[in-house]
Amino acid sequence: MVIASDLKEGTVIRIDRRIYRVLDVESKPGTAKLGGVVKTKLSDVRNGRMWEPHFRPQERLEELELERRTMEFLFSAGDTCTFMNPDTFEQVEVPTAIFGPAAQFLQPGIELPVEFFAEEPISVVFPAIAEARVQRTAPAAHSQQDSAWKQATLENGLSIQVPLFIGPGEVVRVEVKTGRYVERAHTERKRSA
């Protein structure tokens, strides 16, 4: 059990037989006659739906312990993604709804931590930043001198804004949650002999 005032981002709790991951927590202190409140933003781990309940600071909630296993992404079919444990070759299917926008960064062979509760996969932990290759870019718009950005389409189909110096074939680093350009990926330069 965990009390509401001790909730942290990433904690997994169960409320009315549904499992939620805490995305955001804000505690508001009480006044003389009114008690405080803990505002939360929760995501249902099975379908990704958002919920923003408020709790009393001393309210007890059921915290769940998750088991984390590193698994290899194999393929996606329909609304599920198949992962394999590289040690046992056991395969599990994870609903695509769990991923949200991060699903676009799945590539066969990538290894990611999969979190399980009671042998059921409930979430996949993505890094905050992922790399993707630029497939094509729009020409720089010279009429808009105040803009230093242009539209680019990545190999995974995601359209993002990139600086004018980024061209097709380059690898860029992208924030997974927002799909925002971070920087050009640093590739190893060949040393001259």
Residue-range domain boundaries for the chain:
2-63, 67-124, 129-184
Q: Which CATH number fits domain 129-184: 2.40.110.10, 3.90.45.10, 2.40.50.140, 3.40.50.300?
A: 2.40.50.140
- Note the pLDDT of residue 82: 93
What 3-state class would DSSP assign to 144? Answer: coil
Which H helix or E strand runs over 128? Answer: none
pLDDT-derived band at 91, boundaries 50, 70, 90: very high
| pLDDT confidence of residue 84 | 94
| Cβ neighbours for 136, distance < 8 A, ≥ 6 positions apart | 152, 153, 168
2-63 matches 67-124 in fold: no
Which residue matches tokens 């995974």? 156
Distance CA 163, CA 183 (A): 9
pLDDT score of 108: 87
Q: What is the tens place of the pLDDT at every residue in 108-124?
A: 888 999 988 888 888 88
What CATH number does domain 2-63 carry, 3.40.50.20, 2.30.30.30, 1.10.287.70, 3.40.50.300? 2.30.30.30
pLDDT of 190 strictly over 50: no
Residue 192: the pLDDT is 41
Taking the alpha carbons of 60, 56, 44, 110 in that order, is the dihedral positive or negative?
negative
Q: Give the pLDDT score at 189.
A: 47
| Mean local confidence (pLDDT), 166-174 | 91
Quick one: pLDDT band at residue 193, thresholds 50, 70, 90?
Answer: very low
Percent of the chain with pLDDT over 90: 32
Instruction: Give 56 or 190, the one with higher predicted confidence.
Output: 56
The yes/no answer on whether domain 67-124 falls in CATH 2.40.50.140 is yes
Q: What is the residue-averaged pLDDT of the chain?
A: 85
Q: What is the pLDDT of residues 32-48, one digit of tens each?
A: 667 789 999 998 887 77
**b/e per residue, 166-186, with b = 16+ CB within 10 A?**
beeeeebebebeebebeeeee
pLDDT at 173: 92
Q: Regarding beta strands 50-51 and 37-44, do their DSSP bridges make them parallel or antiparallel, or are they unpaired?
A: antiparallel
Please state, for a pLDDT cut of 70, what percent of the chain lies above it.
Answer: 91
